[in-house]
């Protein structure tokens, strides 16, 4: 876990402890009037917490998102009768990334229900934000160019008000789907969560999964009465199978789906000592080959199966030179704090430094966030606004791929095949969702219980663009 994420968690837990102490003192004070009052108030406080205050939000909703998006066209728009009017000098071809910078302020109901902006007149959409939002946010209008140019696009605030001053950001890109694409996935399902639509529509795709994902196997221990080692090996085999089998649902050839078989949450230890073999935490294995047995592609490191950083970098370099991708997709090290995701980025950059092939573009994704583990907020099938970000000193260049309803269904089905997303939600989470559905009007998709079905099956896939020659952090 990154130092910043640890600081955010510590601050969140400190505030939570102080709040609990205050609530406890209030409950004790109410015992003076009636013995039954404290238990009743405790139950009501718990219900309120689960319904309205259980989100992990590690920033103040009244903060402005702070982006450096200078590398784009900016056009000030006017809102006439609730509709956006495009200035005459702005010409759109329809394939641009379109973002609308707005200032939102939640109503009092927007502290109990998720504030959102409904987009009408084009492709109907509804993009949700934090409860109590008050500041600069970025709507995603990608795919709405025709309605925007015709002056038909209308914005309606739900539980929030929008300031009349708005600015359209237009980002133009080459066609990243035209050449071979390689998606780097730290774990099975990361490629599908972030980039299923992208790799399904690219001219040619390679999916490279770094780890077997064998830890956190309590479900298999209980389901099959296994010990930790047996459960870890079973889970690792299932996720290894998922990583090479599920991409075929999108038409990726079996020979272009590669599982490297390194061990979950051990990449940081490997990076710290590049020549040292780092064994699995739970599977009692120090050999990557058992989790590579479904591969149709052979690698030089198959000869010894040593789980070392040096082998990982060599594997990636070998695959890059074999696939010769025009675009490589990988986690964003500044936005996504998961340790394996950060190490996946570092290993890929190290591999590129010594490779004889250089891709034309790098695309970065974030399946986890530092500040908000509910993003993207709102319902499955809706658009993806820009995530919370508070570092205006780091330039970013977004690329948004539109995802049709048909491809969304294909993506949902692909995620449903992933064993790690199949177990039922624990009782506490199901109860929390029931309370939020009844009291906060939240909805979850019917095609999957895991939270990633809500977060990932959307009308957009969002990436950040960099080039292999960038010496600074990816943009």
CA-based angle 100:106:110, to the nearest 5?
Answer: 120
196, 152: one domain: no
Residue 420 lies in a domain: yes
Residue 464 lies in a domain: no
Q: Tell me, what's the pLDDT at 3?
A: 56
240, 311: one domain: yes
Q: Tell me, what's the pLDDT at 263?
A: 98
Cis peptide, bond prior to residue 185, ω within 30 of zero: no
Q: What is the pTM of this model?
A: 0.92
Residue range 120-161, pLDDT digits in tens:
999 999 999 999 999 999 999 999 999 998 889 999 999 999
190, 309: one domain: yes
192, 81: one domain: no
Q: How many CB atoms lie within 10 A of CB 69?
A: 18
Which of 143, 171, 199 is where one domain is finished? 171
| Sign of torsion over alpha carbons 290, 295, 301, 302 | positive
21, 87: one domain: no
Residue 474 lies in a domain: no
Residue 397 lies in a domain: no
Question: Does the pLDDT at position 22 exceed 90?
Answer: no
Residue range 168-189, pLDDT digits in tens:
999 999 999 998 999 999 999 9
Residue 28 lies in a domain: yes
Q: Tell me, what's the pLDDT at 17?
A: 72
Report the C-alpha gap between 56 and 53 in whole angstroms: 8
150, 298: one domain: no
165, 253: one domain: no
184, 162: one domain: no
Structural domain harbouring 261: 180-368+404-457
Residue 469 lies in a domain: no
Q: Tell me, what's the pLDDT at 1?
A: 47
By the 8 A CB rule, do 131 and 109 touch? no
Q: Tell me, what's the pLDDT at 472?
A: 40
Averaged pLDDT, 354-380: 94
Residue 472 lies in a domain: no
Q: Tell me, what's the pLDDT at 82?
A: 77
Question: Does the pLDDT at position 9 exceed 80?
Answer: no
155, 191: one domain: no
154, 223: one domain: no
Average pLDDT over the chain, rounded to an integer:
92
158, 243: one domain: no
Question: Does the pLDDT at position 344 exceed 90?
Answer: yes
363, 446: one domain: yes
- The CA-atom distances, in angstroms, between 188 and each of 126, 246, 421, 433, 474 are 30, 9, 10, 26, 23
Residue 396 lies in a domain: no
Which CATH number does the domain housing residue 138 bear? Answer: 2.60.120
Determine the 3-state secondary structure of 314 from DSSP: helix
Averaged pLDDT, 331-360: 95
Residue range 247-275, pLDDT digits in tens:
999 999 999 999 999 999 999 999 999 99
Averaged pLDDT, 182-206: 98
Report the C-alpha gap between 463 and 330 in whole angstroms: 9
Which of 142, 171, 200 is where one domain is finished? 171
Q: Tell me, what's the pLDDT at 5?
A: 54
How many domains, the chain?
3
């Amino acid at each position: 876990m990154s130092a910043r994420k640890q600081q955010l968690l510590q601050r969140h837990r400190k505030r939570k402890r102080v709040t609990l102490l205050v609530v406890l003192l209030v409950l004790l004070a109410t015992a003076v009037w009636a013995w039954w009052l404290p238990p009743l108030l405790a139950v009501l406080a718990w219900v309120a917490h689960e319904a309205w205050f259980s989100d992990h939000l590690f920033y103040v909703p009244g903060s402005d998102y702070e982006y450096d998006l200078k590398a784009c066209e900016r056009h000030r728009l006017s809102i006439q009768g609730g509709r956006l009017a495009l200035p005459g000098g702005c010409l759109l071809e329809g394939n641009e990334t379109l973002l609308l910078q707005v200032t939102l302020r939640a109503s009092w109901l927007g502290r109990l229900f998720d504030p959102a902006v409904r987009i009408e007149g084009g492709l109907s959409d509804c993009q949700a934000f934090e409860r109590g939002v008050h500041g600069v946010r970025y709507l995603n209008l990608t795919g709405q160019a025709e309605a925007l140019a015709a002056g038909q696009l209308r914005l309606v605030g739900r539980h929030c008000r929008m300031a009349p001053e708005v600015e359209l950001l237009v980002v133009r890109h080459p066609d990243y789907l035209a050449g071979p694409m390689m998606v780097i996935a730290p774990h099975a399902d990361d490629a599908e969560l972030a980039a299923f639509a992208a790799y399904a529509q690219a001219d040619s795709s390679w999916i490279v999964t770094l780890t077997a994902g064998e830890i956190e196997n309590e479900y298999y221990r209980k389901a099959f009465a296994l010990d930790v080692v047996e459960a870890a090996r079973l889970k690792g085999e299932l996720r290894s199978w998922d990583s090479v089998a599920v991409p075929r649902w999108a038409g990726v050839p079996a020979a272009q789906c590669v599982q490297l078989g390194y061990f979950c949450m051990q990449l940081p230890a490997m990076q710290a000592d590049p020549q040292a073999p780092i064994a699995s935490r739970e599977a009692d294995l120090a050999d990557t080959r058992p989790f590579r047995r479904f591969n149709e592609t052979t690698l030089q490191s198959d000869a010894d199966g040593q789980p070392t950083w040096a082998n990982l970098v060599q594997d990636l370099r070998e695959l890059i030179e074999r696939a010769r991708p025009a675009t490589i997709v990988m986690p964003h090290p500044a936005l996504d704090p998961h340790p394996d995701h950060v190490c996946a980025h570092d290993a890929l950059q190290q591999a590129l430094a010594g490779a004889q092939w250089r891709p034309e573009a790098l695309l970065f994704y974030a399946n986890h966030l530092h500040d908000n583990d509910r993003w993207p907020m709102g319902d499955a099938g809706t658009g993806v606004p820009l995530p919370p970000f508070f570092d205006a000193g780091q330039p970013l260049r977004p690329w948004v791929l539109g995802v049709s309803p048909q491809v969304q269904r294909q993506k949902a089905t692909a995620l449903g095949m992933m064993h790690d997303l199949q177990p039922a939600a624990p009782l506490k989470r199901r109860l929390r969702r029931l309370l939020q559905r009844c009291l906060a009007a939240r909805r979850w998709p019917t095609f999957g219980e895991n939270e990633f079905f809500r977060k990932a099956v959307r009308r957009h896939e969002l990436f950040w663009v960099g080039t292999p020659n960038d010496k600074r952090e990816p943009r």
